[in-house]
Amino acid sequence: MTETTLSRIIDNIDTVFRGDAWHGPAVMEMINSLPESRLLENQPFSKQTIAQNIFHLTAYRRFVIEKLNDNIHFRLDTDAENWGTEEELKDPARLKKNLVDTHNLLLKKLEEFDDDLLTRNVPGEYYDFYKLLNGLIQHDTYHLGMIWVLWQ
């Protein structure tokens, strides 16, 4: 298989998520290390809990998938859409499963495309898919740091 820019981006998305990232633990390595009892703890320095950050990682993946499906109207406008509801946050196993399932769905969807995707404008947005996909990597890394800080 020929290595393409898109295949390298996909590899980076998966590396930051699953492991072998240069910066240390990946998203799932960190999440799987957390005691479930800490997921809903509130910290005085943050509006969000670890569980909300996990939900948010899933929400952002759904956003990318919807844009790959040409859904011009899909947005994450509300706190519930971005950070989850009390009901959605209370089951740690379901939170983790939803994140992994959405990640796998994203990877599968991305495999349908070639490098031409990267210069296409994201439906309903002012940026292209190159920026969105690299933004997902940056987004994961940022929230990985937030999860680590909330755990300490």
> Which residues, including other chains, have CB under 8 Å from residue 29's CB and lie 6 or more apart?
18, 19
Distance of CA 44 to the CA centre of its chain: 24
User: Reduced to 3 states, what is the DSSP secondary structure of residue 119?
Assistant: helix
- Among 8-12, 40-44, 52-56, 61-65, where is mean pLDDT lowest? 40-44
Q: What is the pLDDT of residue 1?
A: 57
C-beta of residue 60 within 8 angstroms of C-beta of residue 142: no
Q: Interhelix angle for 92-110 vs 50-68, to 10°?
A: 30
Q: What is the pLDDT of residue 29?
A: 95
Distance in Å from the first CA to the final CA of the chain? 42
DSSP state of 132: H
Q: Once rounded to an integer, what is the mean pLDDT over residues 6-14?
A: 97
Q: Interhelix angle for 5-18 vs 129-151, to 10°?
A: 10
Position 42 pLDDT exceeds 90: no
- In residues, how long is the chain? 152
Structure token pair of residue 37: 């009892």
Domains defined for the chain, CATH in brackets: 5-151 (1.20.120.450)
Q: How confident is the model at residue 143 (pLDDT cuts 50, 70, 90)?
A: very high
Kindly state the percentage of the chain with pLDDT values over 90.
86
